[in-house]
Amino acid sequence: MKRSLSLVVVSAVLVVAAVAVGLFVVDVESTDPEPAIFDDTVSMGLALADERALEQEVELPKAQVFYSQYEYVVGYYGVETFVEAQRSPGHTQRFGYPLTVYVSDYSSTDIELDEAGQPTVDRQPAWHDAEDAWYVYGSDAVAPGGETVVPFSERDDAEAFADNHDGTVLTWEALLEAEFGADEATAVRDRVDDQHRDADQRVEDAAVLRDRPTSTVVGEDTDTVQAAIDEAPANTTVLVPDGTYEERLEIDRPLTLVGEGNVTIDGGGNGTVITSTAEGTAIVGLEIVGSGSERLGTGDLPGDDEAGDEWDETFEGNYAGGDAGIGLHTAPGSLVEDVTVDSSASGIILRRSGDSVVRNVTVSSPESPEDGHAGILSFRSPLVVEQSTVYDGQDAIYTHRSHDSVVRDNRIEGNRLGIHLMHTSDSLLADNQLSNQSNTGIYIMTGPERNAVVDNEIRNADDFALFPSGSSSYVAGNVLADSQVGLRVDATDTLYERNVIADNEIGAQTRAMLPTNQVVGNDFVDNDVHAEAGTGPLRIWSDGTGNYWQGVTSLAGERGPGGTVDRAYSPTAPVDQRLHRVDGTPTLSRAPGLEALSGLQGTVPGMRTGSIVDLAPTCEPNNPDLLEGTEWEDRAWSCDRATTLHDSP
């Protein structure tokens, strides 16, 4: 019976393969399609926040591409975005060949550049065949991501634009050879050390706030802490001796508030306990209890307000206006250190208080996420959070439009979401330990760009250990374990490398419609299912070498080049996905029919929709240092050991 079932499986898979190949045959001699409505394309190249920030008159150059093996039209913000994309490894394998490319035609408009250098027009540009267009390269024209190429259907128009705004006029063939800078995800990887050094400097700069001379001592110079704050000259220290002080405090000029001994500030359960609206505030060595329990704000916010987007202002008022242990409002360059907050809503709120540092703090929130809000909430406040512990509550660390933040070396446990980034780009999340989140360990959402998530350990998340969305980010060196889904591959143009993904129900799950990510050098060990793919094109997770997949090593007859397994592996294929779970699947996987099918994987673009293939899985784990000492180390076999185990009598 088992032999008959094996033959049925092989036959069924071969039939599916034959049908798939037939579905993706395209008549390249067919008439060129009409341009699509750009909003109906699967688009890339512009972050959501940047798109919303564009003025109504701004019209960025675009391209739309009809591919031979991808069923959707792909829209690119920036012709240069397409040029760089088609050079990326595996692009042709994923999409096929571009059959027709249309670009914006600024010959049909009265184009000008605004103060920022972005193109503005009097009417919507028409679409024009890319091969017949002329391109102004290296001009003053910019998009949110940097310089942009401006296309024209008429050469005279292109030359006139180049004369007015500098730049060189290129043909399509010359444009395809032009240089546009390094891959952004690689650039993010290369600057991680610089981000750490920058954070070190920010911490060092904030540390001088602790050295202000003491001007006022509570109990000696004044009876209350607030009176001491009111009397203290700017840029001095208010010293608070051992004891419990039932007060709510307001700081309106640069001061350092320091507790000496066991000092508790009790707000009595009403409002925010300590509010500062002064640049360079320092709050050090205090225990803070008795904040109010209002999670959302309803009135005016403290500090100076800046005009902004109406929707964003409402959001800011709601989220940053709730009660907290500490509220820093328009207080940039501040320091919160060696502080414990027992929060009834939010622990520490920073609003429009960039370049601040929160370090060595402990925040405990209500055990029920519905009762609390955020342990540390940052709104338009790039900051450093380090060496801190946040328990319970809704979001442990929440940032909103707080670009260039660094969150590192923290312990986060028992929250709904551990680290939650909204509209936050160019940030670093590193060396954090997260556990027991009821939803997601690290969740990056709303289309951010260029974030680095490195060397974190995330365990026991009920839904996702790590869910980074957006684009052009770097995810590496993380241990993602014991969760329903270890890694959600939902971003675009993102590099995922050197992660250990172990003991999850689903190791990695991808739903991205654009197969533009690099997923290489990772280790998949002891997951119920190593990887799962939703509807979409074939995703190729290898670039010369691929990933380590527990179970795939049993396929190796001989090692391939560079220590790889000598055949492709698909974690979404019916047989391959069971190699590490079910006895007998290695033998079935060597059946002639499946061997033939594995030879087709990755050679026919788009052949297996809704699937993943690794063309060069590795024989050895890629990250032995991360695996060493874990409970999965003994399950990560090499090709030699796995073959011996499976073939022994």
Return averaged pLDDT per consecutive 10 residues of the chain, 649 residues in all.
30 32 36 89 81 84 92 92 84 86 96 94 95 96 91 97 96 93 83 98 98 97 98 98 98 98 96 97 98 78 68 74 93 98 94 97 85 90 98 94 97 97 96 97 94 98 96 96 96 94 96 85 96 85 90 64 82 86 52 46 48 91 88 77 46
What is the domain partition of the chain in residue ranges? Answer: 1-31+538-649, 33-181
Place of tokens 């660390």: 397
* CA distance from start to end of the chain: 22
* pLDDT value for 183: 65
Cα dihedral 595→68→536→455 (10° resolution):
80
As to burial, measured by CB atoms within 10 angstroms (0-12 exposed, 13-18 middle, 19+ buried), residue 489 is: buried
Q: Which helix (H) or strand (E) holds 411?
A: strand 411-413
CA distance 120 to 114: 7
Buried b (16+ CB within 10 A) or exposed e, 201-227: ebbeebeebeebeebbebeeebeebbe
Question: Cα separations (Å) of 321 from 17, 348, 357?
Answer: 57, 12, 20
Buried b (16+ CB within 10 A) or exposed e, 71-110: ebbbbbbbbbbbbbbbeeebbebbbbebbbbbbbbbbbbe
Backbone angles phi, psi at 113, to 5 degrees: -110, 135
* pLDDT value for 85: 86
CA distance 506 to 77: 33
Q: Which helix (H) or strand (E) holds 98?
A: strand 98-105
* pLDDT value for 303: 80
Place of tokens 């203290």: 232
As to burial, measured by CB atoms within 10 angstroms (0-12 exposed, 13-18 middle, 19+ buried), residue 198 is: middle
CA distance 418 to 437: 6
* pLDDT value for 636: 80
Residue 68: which of 39, 94, 37 has the closest Cα? 94
CA distance 50 to 73: 22
The model's pTM is: 0.84
Buried b (16+ CB within 10 A) or exposed e, 560-586: beeebbebbbbbbbebbbbbbeeeebb
CA distance 409 to 623: 21
As to burial, measured by CB atoms within 10 angstroms (0-12 exposed, 13-18 middle, 19+ buried), residue 138 is: middle
* pLDDT value for 43: 87
Side-chain-side CA neighbours of residue 486 (13 Å): 30
Cross-strand partners of 113: 119
Supply 420's token pair.
């939650």
Rg (CA), the chain: 28
